[in-house]
Amino acid sequence: MTESGAGEQLRCPRCGHLAAEDDKFCAECGMFLRDAFTDQRLLLALVHEKEGRSKEARHELERLLELEPDHALANHQLGNLYFHQGTLELAIERYEKALAAAPEFVLGHYDLGVAWYHRGNMPQAIRALRNCLEIDPHYNAAHYRLALALFHAGQLDEALEHFEQAITLTPEYLMANYHLGVIHERLDQTPAAERSFRRSIDEAVGEVSSLYHLAMLFKARGEDAQAEDLLKSARDFGTKLKIND
Protein backbone atom coordinates (compact mmCIF):
# COMPACT_ATOMS: atom_id res chain seq x y z
CA MET A 1 0.00 0.00 0.00
CA THR A 2 1.37 3.45 -0.89
CA GLU A 3 0.57 6.79 0.71
CA SER A 4 1.26 10.25 -0.65
CA GLY A 5 3.00 12.95 1.26
CA ALA A 6 5.99 14.99 0.22
CA GLY A 7 6.73 12.12 -2.18
CA GLU A 8 5.65 8.57 -2.98
CA GLN A 9 5.75 6.43 0.17
CA LEU A 10 5.44 2.73 0.84
CA ARG A 11 4.03 1.19 4.02
CA CYS A 12 5.98 -1.84 5.21
CA PRO A 13 3.74 -4.92 4.94
CA ARG A 14 5.43 -6.47 8.01
CA CYS A 15 5.38 -3.72 10.64
CA GLY A 16 3.34 -0.94 9.05
CA HIS A 17 6.13 1.65 9.14
CA LEU A 18 5.77 4.34 6.45
CA ALA A 19 9.00 4.33 4.44
CA ALA A 20 10.43 7.21 2.42
CA GLU A 21 10.32 7.11 -1.36
CA ASP A 22 13.94 5.99 -1.84
CA ASP A 23 14.08 3.49 1.05
CA LYS A 24 14.93 -0.03 -0.06
CA PHE A 25 14.65 -1.42 3.50
CA CYS A 26 12.20 -0.68 6.31
CA ALA A 27 13.92 1.47 8.95
CA GLU A 28 11.91 -0.25 11.71
CA CYS A 29 12.14 -3.98 10.94
CA GLY A 30 14.65 -4.19 8.09
CA MET A 31 12.27 -5.80 5.59
CA PHE A 32 13.28 -5.42 1.92
CA LEU A 33 10.70 -3.09 0.35
CA ARG A 34 11.68 -2.65 -3.26
CA ASP A 35 10.17 -5.91 -4.57
CA ALA A 36 6.80 -5.08 -3.10
CA PHE A 37 6.94 -1.62 -4.68
CA THR A 38 7.92 -3.06 -8.05
CA ASP A 39 5.24 -5.72 -7.97
CA GLN A 40 2.57 -3.13 -7.20
CA ARG A 41 3.60 -0.97 -10.14
CA LEU A 42 3.77 -3.92 -12.56
CA LEU A 43 0.44 -5.35 -11.47
CA LEU A 44 -1.26 -1.99 -11.64
CA ALA A 45 0.16 -1.40 -15.12
CA LEU A 46 -1.10 -4.82 -16.23
CA VAL A 47 -4.58 -4.09 -14.91
CA HIS A 48 -4.64 -0.73 -16.67
CA GLU A 49 -3.48 -2.32 -19.92
CA LYS A 50 -5.98 -5.19 -19.71
CA GLU A 51 -8.83 -2.74 -19.16
CA GLY A 52 -7.78 -0.55 -22.07
CA ARG A 53 -6.19 2.29 -20.10
CA SER A 54 -2.91 2.39 -22.00
CA LYS A 55 -2.02 5.90 -20.88
CA GLU A 56 -2.33 4.99 -17.21
CA ALA A 57 -0.37 1.74 -17.75
CA ARG A 58 2.43 3.67 -19.44
CA HIS A 59 2.47 6.20 -16.60
CA GLU A 60 2.91 3.47 -13.95
CA LEU A 61 5.73 1.83 -15.88
CA GLU A 62 7.51 5.11 -16.48
CA ARG A 63 7.35 5.91 -12.75
CA LEU A 64 8.74 2.48 -11.92
CA LEU A 65 11.56 2.87 -14.43
CA GLU A 66 12.52 6.26 -13.02
CA LEU A 67 13.51 4.41 -9.86
CA GLU A 68 14.74 1.18 -11.46
CA PRO A 69 15.73 2.00 -15.06
CA ASP A 70 17.23 -1.46 -15.70
CA HIS A 71 14.16 -3.43 -14.66
CA ALA A 72 13.78 -6.03 -17.44
CA LEU A 73 10.08 -6.82 -17.07
CA ALA A 74 9.04 -3.18 -16.81
CA ASN A 75 11.07 -2.24 -19.88
CA HIS A 76 9.59 -5.17 -21.79
CA GLN A 77 6.04 -4.33 -20.75
CA LEU A 78 6.52 -0.68 -21.71
CA GLY A 79 7.95 -1.87 -25.03
CA ASN A 80 4.76 -3.86 -25.63
CA LEU A 81 2.66 -0.76 -24.99
CA TYR A 82 4.72 1.24 -27.45
CA PHE A 83 4.51 -1.58 -30.00
CA HIS A 84 0.72 -1.75 -29.84
CA GLN A 85 0.57 2.02 -30.22
CA GLY A 86 2.67 1.76 -33.38
CA THR A 87 5.71 3.60 -32.01
CA LEU A 88 8.16 0.94 -33.09
CA GLU A 89 11.40 2.84 -32.43
CA LEU A 90 10.43 3.37 -28.78
CA ALA A 91 9.35 -0.27 -28.50
CA ILE A 92 12.70 -1.45 -29.88
CA GLU A 93 14.56 0.80 -27.45
CA ARG A 94 12.69 -0.69 -24.49
CA TYR A 95 13.11 -4.28 -25.65
CA GLU A 96 16.85 -3.69 -26.01
CA LYS A 97 17.00 -2.23 -22.49
CA ALA A 98 15.19 -5.29 -21.17
CA LEU A 99 17.65 -7.61 -22.90
CA ALA A 100 20.64 -5.64 -21.66
CA ALA A 101 19.42 -6.40 -18.13
CA ALA A 102 18.33 -9.99 -18.88
CA PRO A 103 20.20 -11.42 -21.91
CA GLU A 104 18.44 -14.82 -21.67
CA PHE A 105 14.95 -13.28 -21.71
CA VAL A 106 13.57 -15.34 -24.59
CA LEU A 107 10.32 -13.39 -25.01
CA GLY A 108 12.32 -10.18 -25.15
CA HIS A 109 14.33 -11.49 -28.11
CA TYR A 110 11.15 -12.65 -29.83
CA ASP A 111 9.31 -9.36 -29.40
CA LEU A 112 12.39 -7.42 -30.49
CA GLY A 113 12.52 -9.53 -33.66
CA VAL A 114 8.83 -8.91 -34.36
CA ALA A 115 9.30 -5.15 -33.84
CA TRP A 116 12.26 -5.05 -36.23
CA TYR A 117 10.22 -7.09 -38.74
CA HIS A 118 7.37 -4.57 -38.66
CA ARG A 119 9.94 -1.79 -38.87
CA GLY A 120 11.08 -3.35 -42.15
CA ASN A 121 14.60 -4.15 -40.97
CA MET A 122 14.97 -7.84 -41.87
CA PRO A 123 18.67 -8.26 -40.88
CA GLN A 124 17.94 -7.03 -37.35
CA ALA A 125 14.76 -9.11 -37.16
CA ILE A 126 16.68 -12.21 -38.24
CA ARG A 127 19.39 -11.53 -35.68
CA ALA A 128 16.92 -11.15 -32.79
CA LEU A 129 14.90 -14.21 -33.75
CA ARG A 130 18.05 -16.33 -34.13
CA ASN A 131 19.00 -15.25 -30.59
CA CYS A 132 15.55 -16.34 -29.43
CA LEU A 133 15.95 -19.79 -30.98
CA GLU A 134 19.44 -20.21 -29.57
CA ILE A 135 17.86 -19.97 -26.11
CA ASP A 136 14.78 -22.05 -26.97
CA PRO A 137 15.09 -24.10 -30.20
CA HIS A 138 11.46 -25.25 -29.87
CA TYR A 139 9.92 -21.78 -29.80
CA ASN A 140 7.50 -22.41 -32.66
CA ALA A 141 6.38 -18.79 -33.16
CA ALA A 142 10.02 -17.75 -33.50
CA HIS A 143 10.57 -20.34 -36.25
CA TYR A 144 7.58 -18.93 -38.14
CA ARG A 145 8.62 -15.29 -37.68
CA LEU A 146 12.22 -16.04 -38.58
CA ALA A 147 11.03 -17.84 -41.72
CA LEU A 148 9.01 -14.76 -42.72
CA ALA A 149 11.99 -12.46 -42.19
CA LEU A 150 14.28 -14.78 -44.16
CA PHE A 151 11.67 -15.02 -46.92
CA HIS A 152 11.50 -11.24 -47.26
CA ALA A 153 15.30 -11.06 -47.15
CA GLY A 154 15.47 -13.47 -50.09
CA GLN A 155 17.10 -16.29 -48.10
CA LEU A 156 14.66 -18.88 -49.43
CA ASP A 157 16.44 -22.13 -48.56
CA GLU A 158 16.73 -21.26 -44.89
CA ALA A 159 13.22 -19.79 -44.83
CA LEU A 160 11.99 -23.13 -46.15
CA GLU A 161 13.63 -24.95 -43.23
CA HIS A 162 12.05 -22.71 -40.60
CA PHE A 163 8.56 -22.82 -42.16
CA GLU A 164 8.83 -26.61 -42.07
CA GLN A 165 9.95 -26.44 -38.43
CA ALA A 166 6.99 -24.22 -37.59
CA ILE A 167 4.54 -26.67 -39.20
CA THR A 168 6.19 -29.64 -37.46
CA LEU A 169 5.93 -27.95 -34.06
CA THR A 170 2.52 -26.34 -34.65
CA PRO A 171 0.45 -27.69 -37.55
CA GLU A 172 -2.10 -24.92 -36.89
CA TYR A 173 0.23 -22.41 -38.61
CA LEU A 174 -1.76 -22.77 -41.83
CA MET A 175 -0.16 -19.83 -43.63
CA ALA A 176 3.20 -21.58 -43.39
CA ASN A 177 1.92 -24.01 -46.04
CA TYR A 178 1.15 -21.09 -48.34
CA HIS A 179 4.64 -19.63 -47.88
CA LEU A 180 6.19 -23.04 -48.46
CA GLY A 181 4.27 -23.22 -51.72
CA VAL A 182 5.53 -19.80 -52.82
CA ILE A 183 9.14 -20.74 -52.03
CA HIS A 184 8.91 -24.06 -53.88
CA GLU A 185 7.32 -22.20 -56.79
CA ARG A 186 10.18 -19.68 -56.91
CA LEU A 187 12.70 -22.50 -56.76
CA ASP A 188 10.96 -24.23 -59.69
CA GLN A 189 9.98 -27.14 -57.47
CA THR A 190 6.50 -27.45 -58.96
CA PRO A 191 5.30 -30.75 -57.40
CA ALA A 192 6.31 -29.60 -53.93
CA ALA A 193 4.66 -26.21 -54.52
CA GLU A 194 1.43 -27.88 -55.57
CA ARG A 195 1.42 -30.11 -52.47
CA SER A 196 1.91 -27.13 -50.18
CA PHE A 197 -0.80 -25.04 -51.84
CA ARG A 198 -3.20 -28.00 -51.69
CA ARG A 199 -2.49 -28.47 -47.97
CA SER A 200 -3.15 -24.79 -47.42
CA ILE A 201 -6.48 -25.04 -49.25
CA ASP A 202 -7.50 -28.26 -47.47
CA GLU A 203 -6.72 -26.89 -44.01
CA ALA A 204 -7.98 -23.34 -44.55
CA VAL A 205 -10.99 -23.65 -46.83
CA GLY A 206 -11.04 -20.91 -49.45
CA GLU A 207 -7.46 -19.71 -48.89
CA VAL A 208 -7.53 -17.25 -51.79
CA SER A 209 -3.80 -16.79 -52.32
CA SER A 210 -3.20 -20.54 -52.49
CA LEU A 211 -6.13 -20.98 -54.88
CA TYR A 212 -4.64 -18.37 -57.19
CA HIS A 213 -1.11 -19.81 -57.14
CA LEU A 214 -2.41 -23.34 -57.66
CA ALA A 215 -4.46 -22.09 -60.61
CA MET A 216 -1.34 -20.57 -62.16
CA LEU A 217 0.48 -23.90 -61.80
CA PHE A 218 -2.36 -25.68 -63.61
CA LYS A 219 -2.44 -23.00 -66.29
CA ALA A 220 1.34 -23.29 -66.86
CA ARG A 221 0.98 -26.95 -67.76
CA GLY A 222 -2.01 -26.39 -70.02
CA GLU A 223 -4.81 -27.53 -67.70
CA ASP A 224 -6.90 -24.44 -68.39
CA ALA A 225 -10.27 -25.82 -67.29
CA GLN A 226 -9.00 -26.79 -63.83
CA ALA A 227 -7.17 -23.47 -63.57
CA GLU A 228 -10.38 -21.57 -64.33
CA ASP A 229 -12.32 -23.58 -61.73
CA LEU A 230 -9.75 -22.60 -59.09
CA LEU A 231 -9.80 -18.94 -60.13
CA LYS A 232 -13.61 -18.97 -59.94
CA SER A 233 -13.40 -20.41 -56.41
CA ALA A 234 -10.95 -17.64 -55.48
CA ARG A 235 -13.26 -14.96 -56.92
CA ASP A 236 -16.32 -16.43 -55.20
CA PHE A 237 -14.55 -16.58 -51.85
CA GLY A 238 -13.28 -13.03 -52.25
CA THR A 239 -16.85 -11.85 -52.96
CA LYS A 240 -18.11 -13.60 -49.81
CA LEU A 241 -15.42 -11.87 -47.73
CA LYS A 242 -16.49 -8.46 -49.05
CA ILE A 243 -20.15 -9.19 -48.29
CA ASN A 244 -19.32 -10.32 -44.75
CA ASP A 245 -17.22 -7.19 -44.17
Per-residue pLDDT of the chain (245 residues; tens, 9 = 90+): 344 344 456 676 666 778 776 666 666 666 555 555 566 666 666 666 676 777 887 877 888 788 788 888 889 989 999 999 899 999 999 999 999 999 999 999 999 999 999 999 999 999 999 999 999 999 999 999 999 999 999 999 999 999 999 999 888 787 898 999 999 999 999 999 999 888 888 765 447 888 888 888 888 888 888 888 888 877 776 544 343 44
C-alpha–C-alpha distance, residues 63 and 34, integer Å? 14
Note the pLDDT of residue 200: 83
C-alpha–C-alpha distance, residues 8 and 107, integer Å? 31
Note the pLDDT of residue 37: 54
Note the pLDDT of residue 244: 40
